[in-house]
Amino acid sequence: MAYAPVGFGDYHWKVTGEDGRQWFATVSDLEHKEFCGQGAVAALQGLRQAMDTAVSLRGRGGLRFVVAPEVAIDGRSVVPLDARYALTVFPQVVGVPGEFAQKLTEDERDQVLDRLAELHSQEPPSTTPTTSLEPAGLGDIPTALAETDGAWPDGGPYSEPARKLLAEHADTVRARLADFETLVDRVRRRGAPLVVTHGEPHPGNLILGDDGYLVVDWDTVGLAVAERDLSLISTDPAVLARYTERTGRTPDRDALALYRLRWSLLDVAEFVEWFRGPHQRDEDTESAWKGFTETLGDLSGDATG
């Protein structure tokens, strides 16, 4: 076994079995898997639903680009190690991994859109989780904004700088929250059909193999409008023409804007929770601070028409 310091959130190891087969083992901290469920018990159930969905998409659905976990001998896709941590084991795939901020060429983008068109056309497995336009985590932002006038509990070295930075951008964040509610109302009233979405099909979750792109990290899979995935490719429907050609559906501008804004606001919520809690100065928190400052800067340039 060799620890693999990749990704952001879970813990990974590369494993060679006695028979020489290569595996990729992931250990999830269920107390910090809120998008799968609130609390370790609910998060385990949600994570297992997501992984079962990936197994079904690859097996019964025939989507060979889905990197699904190997099920345990008792049929479970996720195995709890204790009350807090759970293990998922994947076959090691061969290819060139992408990076989160990587810019795709037009040809690469169209290849990803082909994958998404195929995914969104699938009959949803019965295990597919349902997502919400308004995630619970966003409710923590107004609370934090209301407490920027006084010192936050001294959770760590970034607590006070984070409070001051959020206070400086308070008007912007409140405006973007209002924009978000406007977009939610518009998208909800249109009632677009829900499809199986990956949730985070950015280049960091892509591996370029011999037969094209493979897609990893299916813990965010869920039923949603297609723009949940498409917004990470572009917010311009013209750029998404390949998807329209494959599916006959033209992406909705409001839904694209909603999910791009939703992503940024959830990042703010996560960073604020991080810096308000106990933490130390290390590589992870330095990366989080960089992300926090960049996200608040990006929100300052966003607006909803």
How distant is the alpha carbon of residue 107 from its chain centre? 24
Q: At what angle do helices 170-190 and 159-168 cross, to 10 degrees?
A: 70
Predicted confidence (pLDDT) per residue in 1-11, tens digit? 999 988 777 89
Q: What is the pLDDT, as a whole number, of residue 304? A: 52
Structure tokens at 54: 């990936």
- Name the fold adopted by 105-305: Aminoglycoside 3'-phosphotransferase; Chain: A, domain 2 (3.90.1200)
Q: Number of helices and strands (H, E) in the chain? A: 9, 10
Given 3-state DSSP classes, what are the helix, strand and coil percentages for the chain, each rounded to the nearest 5? Answer: 45, 15, 40
Output Rg (C-alpha) for the chain, integer angstroms: 20
Q: What is the pLDDT, as a whole number, of residue 27? A: 97
| Angle, vertex CA 157, rays to CA 270 and CA 300, nearest 5 | 45
Contact present, 197 and 226 (Cβ < 8 Å): yes
CATH superfamily of 1-92: Phosphorylase Kinase; domain 1 (3.30.200.20)
Boundaries of every domain in the chain:
1-92, 105-305
Q: What is the pLDDT, as a whole number, of residue 188? A: 96
Give pLDDT < 50 ranges for the chain.
Answer: 305
Predicted confidence (pLDDT) per residue in 269-285, tens digit? 999 989 998 999 998 89
DSSP helix/strand/coil, 107: helix
Rounded Cα–Cα distance for residues 182 and 270 (Å): 22
DSSP helix/strand/coil, 116: helix
Q: At what angle do helices 283-300 and 170-190 cross, to 10 degrees?
A: 70
Helix extents (H) in 248-282: 253-276
